[in-house]
Amino acid sequence: DTEVTQTPKHLVMGMTNKKSLKCEQHMGHRAMYWYKQKAKKPPELMFVYSYEKLSINESVPSRFSPECPYSSLLNLHLHALQPEDSALYLCASSPLPGQGIGGYTFGSGTRLTVV
């Protein structure tokens, strides 16, 4: 299995809602990532998990809360989002440094609309 699976594919939520994005991989990767991509822009890194521990938070607002309960699952909890948070959210996974970067894989993304 060489895929990263993201659910849901599309999500519309109100500014007072709480929702979660889910990302799964079964390649044995121990590094997982959340990227955010606004329209007509490149993906930008949000969070990095390494060995299920948050290793990098790129100054992301607290209304985005990541969670990595075990090595194959990465969640992104959303609360009190703003319309400007509407974007494509991409998950990725990779081996750790020293194990080769082969297999760095992106999911197909969740397209989020905040109304």
Identify the residue among 14, 28, 38, 51 touching other proteins (CB under 8 A). 51
Query: What is the spatial distance between Cα 108 and Cα 4, in angstroms, rounded to a whole number?
Result: 8
Does 97 help bind other proteins (rule: CB under 8 A)? yes
What does each C-alpha distance from 40 to 7, 12, 87, 108 come to in angstroms? Answer: 22, 20, 10, 17
Does 45 help bind other proteins (rule: CB under 8 A)? yes
Minimum CB distance to other proteins smaller for 60 or for 80: 60
Residue type, 9: K
Q: Give 27: exposed, middle or buried? Use CB within 10 Å, 0-12, 13-18, 19+.
A: middle
Minimum separation from the CB atom of position 17 to other proteins (A):
22
Does 112 help bind other proteins (rule: CB under 8 A)? no
Contact 12, 113 (CB under 8 A): yes
The binding site for other proteins (CB under 8 A) comprises: 30-31, 33, 35, 41-45, 48, 50-51, 53, 55-56, 88, 90, 92, 94, 96-98, 101-102, 104-106, 108-109, 111
